[in-house]
Amino acid sequence: MAYIVVGCGRVGAEVAQRLYQRGHAVAVIDQEPAAFQNLNPGFKGRLLEGDALDRPVLERAGIGEATGLAAVTNSDSLNAVVGHLARQIYQVPNVLARNYDPIRRPLFDAFGLQVVSSSSWGAQRIEELLLNGGQRVIFEAGNGEVGIYELSVPASWEGRALQELLQGLAARAAALTRAGRAQLPEPSTRLQSGDILHLGATLEGVQAVQQRLGAGESA
């Protein structure tokens, strides 16, 4: 498959190298020739110096046949516009754009782009670790708005229904593991002490679940 990476800073160079190592054809675009020095010496993809808003540059990179494009420069405006061009003009199937400044996120949303925001994700993760140091996050979707969290059921919830724990909260049960065997629980599933719950939840949702579990311990 063929991919285009716009921007050869540290993020762009890492993305390009990872795609190349997987055997894909990769073209990298950057206005600054010195930026290509960020690439691993073993990278053998195509390097194009030029403005990614210049259609001939994009077409030389093979955008007409590209499977995906990642716009990861340090300019939010450039990333948004290049991503929009790739989707709307060239019909690239998979387009990702990097958002650096959260204030500019509405620009990406207006174009309907799939966004990776390191600032927002990093802030969300730091918040989680500060507020819930013992909480285990298995997976985070988007920019951390929803995660898969692992929680242990305390003895105080023995025999109580799962729906009682989650009712009214921004959390859904993805799996329940009991004695080493995982299952897809029903709302009526009765919990046992030591059960491991994997919940799809917002940060606020999982915090509310933890509070409810703790309230059960003190009841």
Closest CA to 22 of 37, 5, 6, 3: 3
Beta bridge partners of 173: 199
Asked whether 52 and 59 are in contact (CB, 8 A), the reply is no
Tokens standing for residue 155: 């003895």
Tokens standing for residue 167: 């009712």
Asked whether 61 and 30 are in contact (CB, 8 A), the reply is no
The pTM for the full model equals 0.65
Domains and CATH numbers, the chain: 2-116 (3.40.50.720), 121-218 (3.30.70.1450)
In whole angstroms, give the CA distance from residue 44 to residue 73. 21
User: Sign of the CA dihedral 4, 8, 14, 17?
Assistant: positive
Encode the chain (219 residues) as per-residue pLDDT tens digits: 999 999 999 999 999 999 999 999 999 999 999 999 999 999 999 999 999 999 999 999 999 999 999 999 999 999 999 999 999 999 999 999 999 888 888 999 899 999 888 777 777 667 766 665 445 777 888 777 888 998 989 999 999 999 999 999 999 999 999 988 999 999 999 999 989 999 999 989 999 999 999 886 544
